[in-house]
Amino acid sequence: MAVRRSALADGRELIYFDDTDTTLGAERALDERALDPRPATAQMRQDPLTGDWISIASNRQNRVFLPPAHLDPLSPQSPGNPSEIPSRYDVAVIENKSPSFGPGLADPAASPADQLADTRTIGLERTLPSIGRCEVVCFSPEHEGSFGTQSVSRARTVIEAWAHRTAELSQLPGVQQVFPFENRGEAIGVTLGHPHGQIYSYPYVTPRTQQLLDSIDAYGPTLVADAIARELDGPRVLIRGEHWSAYVPFAARWPIEVHLVPHRHVPDFAETTLEERDELASVYLRLLRGVDALYDTPTPYIAAWHQAPVHERRDEVRLTLQLTSPRRAADKLKFLAGSEAAMGAWIGDVAPEAQAQALRAAIEGVRV
């Protein structure tokens, strides 16, 4: 699988990942656009009541919103479309034009432990630069689709890109956690129909992961392994492969919620084996196509790949996909109202066992 590096006209990194069965040649066109300078790195502000950091990235107000096909910024450039990617491609990764984090990075001389401690200190009106990096992962040159509409070969290329980028982004100064994800559907807030995902590289350990670390502290270092073992021996398993299994979790928050996990302890994509990546391509496609088979129209979702923090607890936190959708019926969505949005106190609309049964039946009918 060839990896070809390039750069956009404003200096942002562009990386091409070629399918193993690619029909493309080795040459790639240069980006000859005249672009404005990149925006300055945003500022983070701390909420002292929760310790959460909020990145105030006002440059994101100007990002493209649901453009027509002939102006798709993630399609290959053409005479009528001065897009972000100058050449035809299989899979392409670019630095985000309107990043929430970066392009600034930490001082390489500062230790990761000191940087992490600084983000966990609580104070009034604390600010820090929103260092890190945000990247866009283009799954296909086509204008429409999602991960689930790709071929097994293309899915395998995207997985290789996730592993490659996780390894490199984890080495950037100040990066504490790397998060690949895909938003699918306008109901989720997607602003581009082009099949793509993103990777955020955070300068702190995210609140979701910090909650997990707190739970590990309360239970013990085997919490994640014990919970997964219990789930895989339970009634909500959807797919059981040689290296990966999927299940509806015991305490699912969302009407549709599925976790997909490797059988052995793996902290992130960079530490998966080639055999695990090979199987994941087909298992993940089965899962996504099964979710879409529940109803007559595509289901909106967030596919969140939780990875261990870069510098701590890597032997306790396992790589896990959390696939969630607010779709609670063919024509109904779950909206986060007072209890969930304000208090973080969730109320489930669908019994996890019932949803698992429906998903199993849907998955059995799909082909990859």
- Looking at the fold, whether 190 and 331 belong to one and the same domain comes out as no
Q: Tens digits of per-residue pLDDT, 209-263? A: 999 999 999 999 999 999 999 999 999 999 999 999 999 999 999 999 999 999 9
198: closest CA among 249, 262, 260, 132?
A: 132
Q: If pLDDT is split at 50, 70 and 90, which confidence band does 66 have?
A: confident
Inform me whether the pLDDT recorded for 62 exceeds 80.
no
Q: Tens digits of per-residue pLDDT, 27-36? A: 999 999 999 9
- The mean pLDDT value for 275-284 works out to 98
- Looking at the fold, whether 96 and 217 belong to one and the same domain comes out as no
Q: Tens digits of per-residue pLDDT, 115-136? A: 999 999 999 999 999 999 999 9
- The mean pLDDT value for 199-207 works out to 98
Inform me whether the pLDDT recorded for 348 exceeds 90.
yes
Q: If pLDDT is split at 50, 70 and 90, which confidence band does 55 have?
A: very high
- Looking at the fold, whether 215 and 199 belong to one and the same domain comes out as no
Q: What is the enclosing helix (H) or strand (E) of 352?
A: helix 352-364
Q: At which of 156, 183, 204 does a domain end?
A: 204
Residue 64: the pLDDT is: 80
- Looking at the fold, whether 196 and 290 belong to one and the same domain comes out as no
In single-letter form, the type of residue at position 22 comes to T
CATH number for the domain harbouring residue 195 = 3.30.428.10
Residue 191: the pLDDT is: 87
Residue 63: the pLDDT is: 78
Residue 166: the pLDDT is: 98
Full DSSP string of 257-307: EEEEEESS--SSGGG--HHHHHHHHHHHHHHHHHHHTTSSSPPPEEEEEE-
- Looking at the fold, whether 249 and 312 belong to one and the same domain comes out as yes
- Annotated catalytic residues are 196
**Structural domain of residue 327, as residue ranges?**
209-364
Residue 20: the pLDDT is: 97
- Looking at the fold, whether 229 and 254 belong to one and the same domain comes out as yes
The span from the CA of 22 to the CA of 236, in Å, is: 38
Measured between its terminal Cα atoms, the distance across the chain in Å is 21
Sign of CA dihedral 223, 224, 229, 235: positive
The span from the CA of 368 to the CA of 350, in Å, is: 28
Sign of CA dihedral 44, 48, 49, 51: positive
38: closest CA among 98, 88, 108, 111?
A: 98
Residue 52: the pLDDT is: 98
Q: Tens digits of per-residue pLDDT, 295-342? A: 999 999 999 999 999 999 999 999 999 999 999 999 999 999 899 999
What proportion of the chain, given as a percentage, has pLDDT over 70?
Answer: 100
Q: Tens digits of per-residue pLDDT, 152-195? A: 999 999 999 999 999 999 999 999 999 999 999 999 989 899 99
**Residue 285 contacts residue 150 (beta carbons within 8 Å):** yes
**Residue 107 contacts residue 97 (beta carbons within 8 Å):** no
Q: CB 166: neighbour CB atoms within 10 A?
A: 24
- Looking at the fold, whether 148 and 63 belong to one and the same domain comes out as yes
- Looking at the fold, whether 82 and 139 belong to one and the same domain comes out as yes
- Looking at the fold, whether 192 and 50 belong to one and the same domain comes out as yes
- Dihedral angle computed from the Cα positions of residues 291, 294, 296 and 297, in that order, rounded to the nearest 10 degrees: -30
- Residue with token string 């966990």: 120
- Dihedral angle computed from the Cα positions of residues 287, 177, 214 and 306, in that order, rounded to the nearest 10 degrees: 0
8-state DSSP, 136:
E
The span from the CA of 184 to the CA of 287, in Å, is: 14
Q: If pLDDT is split at 50, 70 and 90, which confidence band does 14 have?
A: very high
Residue 230: the pLDDT is: 98
pTM: 0.97
Mean pLDDT of the chain: 96
Q: How many residues does the chain have?
A: 368
The span from the CA of 337 to the CA of 75, in Å, is: 37
Question: How do strand 327-329 and strand 332-333 relate by DSSP bridges?
Answer: antiparallel
Q: At which of 189, 204, 219 does a domain end?
A: 204
Inform me whether the pLDDT recorded for 4 exceeds 80.
yes
- Looking at the fold, whether 200 and 303 belong to one and the same domain comes out as no
- Looking at the fold, whether 170 and 230 belong to one and the same domain comes out as no
User: Domains in the chain: how many in total?
Assistant: 2
- Residue with token string 């990043």: 99
Crossing angle of helices 152-169 and 274-292, in 10° steps, is: 120
Q: If pLDDT is split at 50, 70 and 90, which confidence band does 61 have?
A: confident
Residue 196: the pLDDT is: 97
- The mean pLDDT value for 277-288 works out to 98
- The mean pLDDT value for 101-120 works out to 96
Q: At which of 187, 204, 221 does a domain end?
A: 204
**Residue 158 contacts residue 137 (beta carbons within 8 Å):** yes
- Looking at the fold, whether 275 and 324 belong to one and the same domain comes out as yes
Residue 263: the pLDDT is: 98
Residue 328: the pLDDT is: 95
Inform me whether the pLDDT recorded for 60 exceeds 90.
no
Crossing angle of helices 274-292 and 352-364, in 10° steps, is: 100
